[in-house]
Structures are given as structure tokens and as C-alpha cells.
């Protein structure tokens, strides 16, 4: 048995193609969706990611506003910038690239973003809306994961879903979205006992723990769908949290790293930005 590859690049391209059409229609009504991306410091991975987001904006027709701030930027100055963007009508979505330097409190910064411009869906108000089944925006990586699972043609309803990782950015919101689609969800973490046995129950396994090739074939039951959220450097290779070679011999579907979840995360960010532009201009649409 050899798993089918779930092509995140291809799906992201299709989503962006549809968004480009929608943006063209909005521009005919003098509405130009705009995304402001703020990066603080010189983290190489963050810089690459921001560059890719800028390319996505250009591809779709979204106006991109980039703010590259020095490492020693104060929390106060960062929040003042966000507050200016909150009231700037040209900016529909705001994204602060994480991680931030240690002297800046991430929670405080996230809470300063207007929830209606929270393109990443990190604000507590948007997280609350998601948890109660009334989302304004969908969190980018979890929403991308759901779309990738849907391409397999397998119905999530009634399936055993195992999420390995409980971060606020991926693990928890992914679990909530799977639950909303009637999956039976187990969230695993560093204190989970018998992790292999728990994972092996999963019809769908989402690996999001940040440990290179941690999940091998012994964690996966035959025929499972495996979504690898990890992005790790190992011996000059870019690898996920899943040991691709061994797991692909057991699973029915698997995402590659790179080319799986990453492109989808950015595609959903673009989707949220366009939605924000529509919601903020409802009176003239």
C-alpha cells in the first residue's frame, strides 16, 4: 500500500484563482482588498514567509502593506502602529508575524488588533466565535487542514480524529473545527499516556508538535489520513513531524513537507482578507 499525496500547492492555486476573480469584481466597485503585514526583527523563516505572502497578494490583486520593524521596537510603538492600521480604510486585514521578540507580549499585541481585521483569526473574540460555531474568519492553518482532508473525499463525520499538539494556533482550533464537522476528536500533548496507541485509533491524524519526523508508521493505523503540519530542519533537509517514507506505506492519504499545509495556510489568509474587505464594505456592495 502506498499513500496518495494530498497536493496543497495545487489546491492553494485553485483557491487563489477563484479569489483573483472575486477581487477583480470588487475592484469594479472601487474596492481594493488590502493586507498589512508587520514583522519585527530579522528571523529568517519569518522573512521568507512574509515574502511569500506578498507574492500571494500580487498574484490575487490584493494590495500589500509591509511594515518591517527593528528587533528593538517597543511594545508601545508596535501597538500604536496596529491602532493606526485599525482605522485605515485601505487596510482590511492585519497580520503580525509571530514569533515576536521576547520583550513584546504576543497576547497583548493580538488583542490590540481590530477583530474585524484579524486575518489570522487569533483575537480572543474570533477564537470565541469559532468555539461557539459562529466564526467570522477561520484560522488559516486549521482551515487549510480541513480543506486538504476534504479533497480525499472522506467524510469527517463520525471519524476518529487525533490531533497531536494543543497550540492555540493549530492544535486547539483544528480540534474545534473537526468537532464542528462531527468528528470524534482526541487531542494529544506532552502529558498524553500511550501516545502510539491513541494515535493508532485515528482515521484522521493531524501532527502539529514541532518535532522532526516524530510520528512514524507505528503511530498510524492502516488506511488513515495523515496531515503533517510540521516544518523542521533536519540534516539540511526540510521535514515535517511525520516520517514520510514509513508512514506513506501505511496511510491512505498524506500531505508532503513542503507543499502540503504551508501553501494552504497562505491561501486561507488571502481568503480571510478578501472576506474582510467584503464585510467592511457591505454598505456599497
120 tagged catalytic: yes
28 tagged catalytic: no
State which H helix or E strand residue 45 sits in.
helix 44-60
State the cell numbers at 124: 480572543
CB 168 within 8 A of CB 131: no
Distance (Å, whole) CA 127 – CA 120: 10
Check 16, 53, 200, 271 and give the catalytic one: 53
State which H helix or E strand residue 69 sits in.
strand 63-69
Please name the residue that has the C-alpha cell 494590495. 63
Query: What ranges in 122-247 are assigned the alpha helix state H?
Result: 124-131, 140-150, 171-180, 195-199, 244-247
Check 56, 97, 159, 280 and give the catalytic one: 97
Residue among 57, 66, 58, 63 nearest 37 (CA): 66
Check 56, 118, 120, 241 and give the catalytic one: 120
Distance (Å, whole) CA 100 – CA 168: 16
Q: For the chain, give the number of residues.
A: 285
State the cell numbers at 145: 487542514
Catalytic residue IDs: 53, 97, 120
Amino acid at each position: 500500500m502506498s499513500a496518495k499525496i494530498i497536493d496543497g500547492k495545487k489546491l492553494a492555486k485553485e483557491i487563489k484563482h477563484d479569489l483573483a476573480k472575486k477581487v477583480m469584481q470588487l475592484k469594479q466597485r472601487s474596492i481594493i482588498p488590502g493586507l498589512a503585514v508587520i514583522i519585527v526583527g530579522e528571523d529568517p523563516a519569518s522573512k521568507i514567509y512574509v515574502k511569500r505572502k506578498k507574492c500571494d497578494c500580487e498574484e490575487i490583486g490584493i494590495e500589500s502593506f509591509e511594515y518591517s520593524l527593528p528587533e528593538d521596537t517597543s511594545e508601545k510603538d508596535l501597538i500604536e502602529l496596529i491602532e493606526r492600521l485599525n482605522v485605515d480604510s485601505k487596510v482590511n486585514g492585519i497580520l503580525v508575524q509571530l514569533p515576536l521578540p521576547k520583550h513584546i507580549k504576543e497576547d497583548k499585541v493580538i488583542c490590540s488588533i481590530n477583530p474585524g481585521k484579524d486575518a489570522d483569526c487569533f483575537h480572543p473574540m474570533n477564537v470565541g466565535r469559532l468555539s461557539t460555531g459562529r466564526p467570522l474568519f477561520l484560522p488559516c492553518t486549521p482551515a487549510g487542514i480541513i480543506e486538504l482532508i476534504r479533497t480525499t473525499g472522506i467524510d469527517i463525520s463520525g471519524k476518529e480524529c487525533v490531533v497531536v499538539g494543543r497550540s492555540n494556533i493549530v492544535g486547539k482550533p483544528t480540534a474545534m473545527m473537526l468537532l464542528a464537522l462531527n468528528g470524534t476528536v482526541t487531542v494529544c500533548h506532552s502529558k498524553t499516556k500511550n501516545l502510539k496507541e491513541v494515535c493508532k485509533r485515528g482515521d484522521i491524524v493531524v501532527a502539529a508538535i514541532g518535532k522532526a519526523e516524530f510520528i512514524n508508521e507505528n503511530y498510524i493505523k492502516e488506511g488513515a489520513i495523515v496531515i503533517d503540519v510540521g516544518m523542521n530542519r533536519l540534516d539540511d533537509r526540510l521535514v515535517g513531524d511525520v516520517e514520510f517514507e514509513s508512514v506513506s506505506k501505511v496511510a491512505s492519504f498524506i500531505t508532503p513537507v513542503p507543499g502540503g499545509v504551508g501553501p494552504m495556510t497562505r491561501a486561507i489568509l488571502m481568503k480571510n482578507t478578501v472576506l474582510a474587505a467584503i464585510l467592511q464594505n457591505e454598505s456599497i456592495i
